[in-house]
Amino acid sequence: MDLNLLSLTDENYLKAIYQLCEQNVESSTSTNELALFLNLKPGTITESIRRLSDKGLIAYEKYQPLRLTIIGKSLALQIIRKQRLWKTWLVKKMAFGWEEIDDLAHQLEHIRSIKLIDKLDEILGFPLFDPHGDPIPDSKGNVRGKCFISLDRSTLMKSYRITAINDQSEKFIKYMDKLGLKIGDRLVPLDFEEYDQAITISLNDQQSIMLPKTVSENILITSELHCCAFENQQSNPPCLNYQLQN
């Protein structure tokens, strides 16, 4: 099926279902979760879900979990590929801040030209990860797996690098900037506060910062010894090249 046969609403739903399924070990989601993710009432999304089901893009039965079909997943990955490439272009070529790019990329992701997107990928040097640390699917739909954990699940006195963020809202990214935290930074968890689960970290071996759980659970990290992002003992792994080159 061609993306040109989908409405913008269809594209938004497919992308949202894919993202929610990726977060679920059962690779499924529910209508309530989808409605909450899209900030809509459950009753308002039924028609769109049925339309996607009629097109063979999702497996749907009333009161049952939602799952993408093979075709639906392929189209969702095309949309996500466009979104994350546009995010990368906006930061690397247009000098937008990483807190500014979500809305713009959402508008640009609906451009249908595959030739344009492939050229964009080439111009950018075939990046593997976008500025928020999310893996970019290639032209065949292959996507780099994540080996990241959230900071609140880290081990004390172990060295990590910040590799991505869960909360990509402008408010959260500005808060990250205020704290001086960015993708590529080295950190070591020093102490967990039992009362409120706040965590104290050493940042780049220079300063100590205490972070509340609402922040630490939205910062994704990896160990340099155990993550695919640091394969082949690269000193500058591909998911971090954006920040380290600036």
User: 167-193, pLDDT tens digit by residue?
Assistant: 888 899 999 999 999 888 889 999 999
Query: What is the structure's pLDDT at 246?
Result: 32
Q: Which two tokens stand for residue 167?
A: 């909360």
Mean pLDDT of 15-36: 86
pLDDT digits (tens, 9 = 90+) for 158-170: 989 888 888 888 8
The span from the CA of 203 to the CA of 209, in Å, is: 7
CATH of domain 149-244: 2.30.30.90
CATH architecture of structural domain 1-135 = Orthogonal Bundle (1.10)
- Please check the confidence at residue 76 and state whether its pLDDT lies above 50: yes
- Global pTM reads 0.72
Same fold? 1-135, 149-244: no
Pairing assessment for the beta strands 67-68 and 186-192 based on DSSP bridges: unpaired
- Please check the confidence at residue 73 and state whether its pLDDT lies above 50: yes
Q: Which two tokens stand for residue 236?
A: 């500058």
Q: Which two tokens stand for residue 163?
A: 């590799």
Domain edges within the chain? 1-135, 149-244
Least confident of 18-32, 75-89, 205-219: 18-32
- Please check the confidence at residue 241 and state whether its pLDDT lies above 50: no
Amino acid (one-letter) located at 105:
A
